[in-house]
Structure 1
Amino acid sequence: MGSPGVSTKNRHPYLTKNIRYKVQKHIMENCREKSIFLQAINGYTEHMHCLISLGREQTISKIAQLIKGESSFWINKNMLTKIPFMWQDDYFAVSVSQSGLQAVTNYIKNQEIHHAKKSFDFEVKEFVDKYGFTLEKEDI
């Protein structure tokens, strides 16, 4: 199980509530079409979280590339934003054990409440500090 988080370019708040729900619905449909088992999706104005169960031939990198590339193309094709939409080049991903599934699912479902209290940047810094992660950029 993997839980990637992707941010908009320069953390620009493109994903207003109306746009965010359209994008989430589209990502869910796209995942179904590409046999990506998406268990949960939600986000806030400048990022999106997905809980994904990887298939045998799937990697987090490839799934992130498919979701980010296709969704940004779809957002721009449908002119959902006034300026061209772009995701950041990087993404944040962690694996989730079976025992942690419900907690991660609840966390993803409650993004609006969670981010009323703390920013995405602060949240990532907390994870890095708490678990000793090293952030590496990966061009997708």
Structure 2
Amino acid sequence: MLSIGHKNKLCEHILEETRKKSIRLLEINGYVDHLHCLISLGPTQCIADIMQSIKGESAHWFNNRSGLERHQKLAWQDDYFAVSVSESHAEQVRSYIQRQEQHHQHTTYYEEAERLAEKYGFTPDSVG
């Protein structure tokens, strides 16, 4: 788990790096145990490649070059959950991402994951 301060620094770094790689990261935030990203894919981009790039680069930076004092290494899970969002719902999703710290004072990541699994009809081991 990350401290809120480390999570914020990590989000800032990911935003900076995605800009360098022409990844349109519209919003990023999360809580101490996960992050949410709102990404607009270009015509030649795929979510798997973008997630691999974000996870790999950010873990390497955090663990080797961030200069942040920490007690453990960052290791992302292998999987992720992605859904498409219509343009008409993008602001609602952006607002949800921005409110993560308040949201997770009442709902754990695991409760949220179970709710999403039920809503979208998948099992945790089928996500990837």
Return the alpha-carbon distance in structure 2 between the equivalents of residues 38 and 76 of structure 1.
22
Paired residue for 2:45? 58
Indicate whether 1:16 and 2:10 are aligned.
no
- Classify the secondary structure of the residue corresponding to 1:106: helix
- Classify the secondary structure of the residue corresponding to 2:60: helix
TM-score, normalization by structure 1:
0.84
Letter in 1 for 2:90: L
Choose between structure 1 and 2: higher strand proportion: 1
1:127-138 superposed matches below 5 A = 127-135=116-124, 136-138=126-128
Question: Would you say how many aligned residue pairs link Structure 1 and Structure 2?
Answer: 125
Paired residue for 1:121? 110
Structure 1, residues 33-82: CA drift from partner, whole Å, max 9, x if none?
Answer: 00000100000000000000001111110000000000000000135332
Structure 1, residues 98-131: CA drift from partner, whole Å, max 9, x if none?
Answer: 1111110010000001000001111011011123
TM-score, normalization by structure 2:
0.92
RMSD: 1.2
- Classify the secondary structure of the residue corresponding to 1:87: coil
**Is the deviation greater in 81-90 or in 51-60?**
81-90
Gaps of 5+ in 1: 1-12
Return the alpha-carbon distance in structure 1 between the equivalents of residues 120 and 18 of structure 2.
30
State percent identity of aligned pairs. 47
Residue in structure 1 matching 2:21, options 2, 10, 34: 34
Gaps of 5+ in 2: none
Return the alpha-carbon distance in structure 1 between the equivalents of residues 112 and 48 of structure 2.
21
The structure showing larger relative contact order (alpha-carbon pairs under 8 Å, at least 6 residues apart) is 1
Task: Give every structure 1 segment of 4 or more consecutive aligned residues whose post-TM-superposition deviation is greater than 4 Å.
Answer: none
